[in-house]
Amino acid sequence: MPDLHPGLVLIFGALLVALLRGRARSTAALIVPLAALILVWTVGDGAIWTSRLAGYPITPFAVDKLSRLFGTIFALMAFGGALFALNQSARLELPAAFLYAGAALGVTFAGDLLTVFVFWELMAIGSTLVLWSAGTNSSYQASLRYLMIHLTGGVLLLIGVAGHALETGSLQFVAMAPHGLSQWLILAAFLVNAGAPPISAWLPDAYPEASWSGTVFLSAFTTKIAVYALMRGFPGAEPLIYIGLYMVFYGIIYALLENDMRRILAYSIINQVGFMVTGIGIGTDIALNGAAAHAFTHILYKALLLMSAGSVLYMTNKRKCTDLGGLFQSMPITALCGIVGALAISSFPLTSGFVSKSMTVQSAADEHLLVVWLLLGVASAGVFLHAGIKFPWFVFFQKDSGLRPPDPPLNMRLAMILFAILCVGLGVFYEPLYRLLPYPVDFQPYTGAHVVSQLQLLLFSGLAFFVMLKWLRRTLTITLDVDWFYRAFLVAAVDRIEGSVTAMRDRITGKLRGGGARVSGAVRRLHDSQSILARTWQSGTMAMLMLIMLMTLLVVGYLV
């Protein structure tokens, strides 16, 4: 079989899905991601496509263990997301999502930075189209802010890549140290997509505005492609430890204050990616394995959580915790799958989160980073607090909202059940996942001490939640973030500048008019039909004037 690129298969599949209708469309939507998945697994290692561009050798298609791991999960995610979105009425969304997922695979299998850049931009376009297909005014507004941030990130990336190529004479995408401006720019571009500070706000701003199925796709690719790129480009870069820890706590605090169920989960993406970024910063084999495994399992359980939330939104058209509650009674499958996702994100034993995230925490202990280890511990407890209990509690339990919607249609239920099985399955049979990891694994997740300490940590976090429940009561509020700067401050500043410019213009034109009026008045006084220089004079006056002039000449002539 010729070596087809799985990303391009998905991108051409997007065109196919856009053209087809009815059953053929649904069939294509499910087969295309599976075909991509099979390609990811059957293609051999090494550089598959090579070429030259502007004197630089480029490798648009290259495969190794790390890219195969991310390729696998991205293709799997495209399949699960498509299954969930089969009954989405917005026809743009699925093709846009396939373009987006295909571009993510394009970055994953890019052996050079130029290919990374091309697919990076394509991802920004695909994800913006996913946002647009929600078709609401708020999603359109959010998509413009989203696009602004991501195109800026793309520009940083392009400048960085160009500089890096000039300095090193190579476009190859390999580990680089952040020592010069070019490398810092590339790092910054990667961090923009990761949702790192100071501009994390684009993520919780945009993702919850997508449709009930669109958010599921959005949650998977952009941030995890950043994790992938950071792993390949900047493993062991120390600043990432501190950036990651900031993200971890930012996610928890903002999620605790949030009322919109999908925005809670969006904040928790930043929290989770923070764990991975910290692991990449630590940079040992076990830390990188932990970050890679965590990215893999995170995509599954975060998608599952957002499918559960998306089902609630689809059935009730409500998204605020203050409007929801008590739904477990009529949506048992959605509630159960949401709880499985919540347990997995909290790293409960027997779920996929436990076998992946605990590697990162272990790596901090192995490196004797006490403060990092303690902070990751606080964060692990906080994950259970903000996502693990808060999401299912406020949506499916708490007060009874009186809503009794049934579970969603079959395809949505199947997608949730599939991902729930994967979340538990990977937690029990973790060996296949460990074999896919980029470095040899020397880690035993299920020791008595691991299980007991994790259960203590989580269950007592749960106790804190219920004891302090009054403090967590939901309010009809949002929480200000850095995006306030460009959504409110800059807008107000532009309004003020516009106001003062208008006032100044009025003053200047007023002055000019006044000046002009004075000039024209003077001209008029002299030249108007009745004024001194223009009126017709009587001939007598003329004769008199002539006489005076001649007399003057005579007198002057005589005297001289």
Partner 1 sequence: MEQHWLTRPETIRKLWRLFIAVLAAVVLAEVLVPREAHFDVDRLFSFYALFGFVACAVLIVVAKALGVLLKRPDTYYDDEAGDA
Q: ∠18-24-28 over CA atoms, to 5°?
A: 65
Least Cβ distance, residue 289 to partner 1 (angstroms): 18
Least Cβ distance, residue 419 to partner 1 (angstroms): 25
Tell me the CA distances in angstroms from 153 to 10, 123, 188, one per residue in order. Answer: 24, 12, 8
Nearer to partner 1, 329 or 552 (CB): 329
Estimate to the nearest angstrom the gap between the alpha carbon of 79 and the chain centroid.
Answer: 21
- Residue 429 has what DSSP assignment? S
Question: Dihedral of CA 275/280/281/284: which sign?
Answer: positive
CA 216/CA 227 separation, integer angstroms: 18
Contact residues toward partner 1 (CB under 8 A) are: 137-138, 140-141, 252-253, 256-257, 259-260, 320, 326, 328-329, 365-366, 368, 370, 373-374, 377-378, 381-382, 384-385, 400, 402, 447-465, 468, 471-472, 475-481, 487-488, 491
Residue 157 has which token pair? Answer: 């990336």
Least Cβ distance, residue 282 to partner 1 (angstroms): 14
539: left (phi over 0), alpha (psi -120 to 50) or beta: alpha
Nearer to partner 1, 91 or 404 (CB): 404
Least Cβ distance, residue 510 to partner 1 (angstroms): 30
Is the preceding peptide bond at 198 cis, omega within 30 degrees of 0? yes
Burial category of 29 from C-beta neighbours within 10 Å (exposed 0-12, middle 13-18, buried 19 and up): buried
Least Cβ distance, residue 266 to partner 1 (angstroms): 15
Nearer to partner 1, 10 or 248 (CB): 248
Residue 27: how many other CB atoms lie within 10 Å: 12
Nearer to partner 1, 365 or 542 (CB): 365
Least Cβ distance, residue 96 to partner 1 (angstroms): 20
CA 475/CA 549 separation, integer angstroms: 98
Contact 105, 39 (CB under 8 A): no
Least Cβ distance, residue 404 to partner 1 (angstroms): 9
Nearer to partner 1, 350 or 457 (CB): 457
Contact 66, 228 (CB under 8 A): yes
Nearer to partner 1, 7 or 251 (CB): 251
Nearer to partner 1, 475 or 530 (CB): 475
Least Cβ distance, residue 77 to partner 1 (angstroms): 30
Nearer to partner 1, 64 or 366 (CB): 366
Residue 34: how many other CB atoms lie within 10 Å: 14
CA 460/CA 477 separation, integer angstroms: 28
Question: Dihedral of CA 490/239/387/296: which sign?
Answer: positive
Residue 371 has which token pair? Answer: 């403060």
Nearer to partner 1, 455 or 544 (CB): 455
Least Cβ distance, residue 485 to partner 1 (angstroms): 13
